[in-house]
Structure 1
Amino acid sequence: MKTEHSHLLRMVMLAMLVAIGVVISPILRIEGMCPTAHFINIVCSVLLGPWYSLLCATLIGIIRMMMMGIPPLALTGAVFGAFLSGVFYRASGGKIICAVLGEIFGTGIIGSLVSYPVMAILMGRGGLTAFYYTPMFLAATTMGGTVAWFFLKTLSQAGVLAEFQRNLGAKVYDKKVRKSKRTKSTH
């Protein structure tokens, strides 16, 4: 019963993050940069793990490409960072800064370099160099990562990050859990 409940909560959280990522991306956007996508990637990585974060970034990218006419940068600029954010978070034993660094490295470096041949060869854009997208991607991931770090640190300090992770069936690294009303009433 507990695993079915956790699975349902994970699917609901994934759907909410995808919806937020799609809806908010055109609103809080700087030309050529989408810091909110990186915020969503990091939050998803910490709450659900690298595979869910990869799925979330892929779904957001596909929906944005289909519905908003966004170029393939919606995928190449998101999936590597989303996955590495979760991998770095887990490998570090749950350090939020490592999730941010995974997003910055995955998107800012790997994603920007992969975006060059996709846009130059597949999309026929001329005048690009291998590092054309790197400054924009690094800036966007740094902005989104900074906001994500503050957000997740606040949740952690309030003791709710671990509670969210536990309810979602994710690995809990932060043992600080807020006392709920149920816990107080049973003692």
Structure 2
Amino acid sequence: MKKTFLALALIGAFAVSCGQKETKTIEDVTITTEEQEAPKEVEKEVVKHKVVWTAFKTPAKVGVKGSFDEVSLTYAHPDAALVTDALNGATFEIKTTSVNSNDPGRDSKLSGYFFEKMTGDIHGTFHEFKDGKVVTSIFMNGIEKSKELTYELNGNIVVIKGSIDIIADFNAEPAFQSLHEICKDLHEGKSWTDVEFEVTIEK
């Protein structure tokens, strides 16, 4: 049976980004893909997904939104009626080379000056969804961090929100400084280490 999900903004979110200096509003990016259903013995699906992260630049803390094109999710309980039950123990993986902010120049900087300075891709695990909160293990730059995220459930759609600090949480100061230096003028001398993300998953 074909299933769809709108998944993981996470964290990539995990980078401040530089584009055109005159950009003063948040940029929205929605990436939708259609692929064949994975074999039944492999409960991994990448059918439809929406990936959104928001990083910040300039002293005014202007938000820049983007996504990752390659995000995979493996349900722990694919036959569960509720999406939150299906996700209890589910794992995800984000290919950082697929970063997409709808600006090729910015994406090149994010890939070459940020993610290439870090260790591996981003992956993690969702734990129990209860009372509007879900603890999520996030593995990034060789470091695993547990973050308590919030969520809202509406029918078969769950929206998960949270934030990370790429230095305090994942010790990514060398990568952060590398990107900050190349984007210093466009960022008016200020890059922010916190990144917000929203994950929408539909089962």
TM-score bracket, normalised by the shorter chain, equals: 0.3 to 0.5
**Per residue, is there more strand in 1 or in 2?**
2
With structure 1 as the length reference, what TM-score do the two structures score?
A: 0.36
Per chain length, whose mean CA-contact separation is higher, i.e. which structure has more relative contact order (CA < 8 Å, sep 6+)?
2
**Per residue, is there more helix in 1 or in 2?**
1
Bigger CA radius of gyration? 1
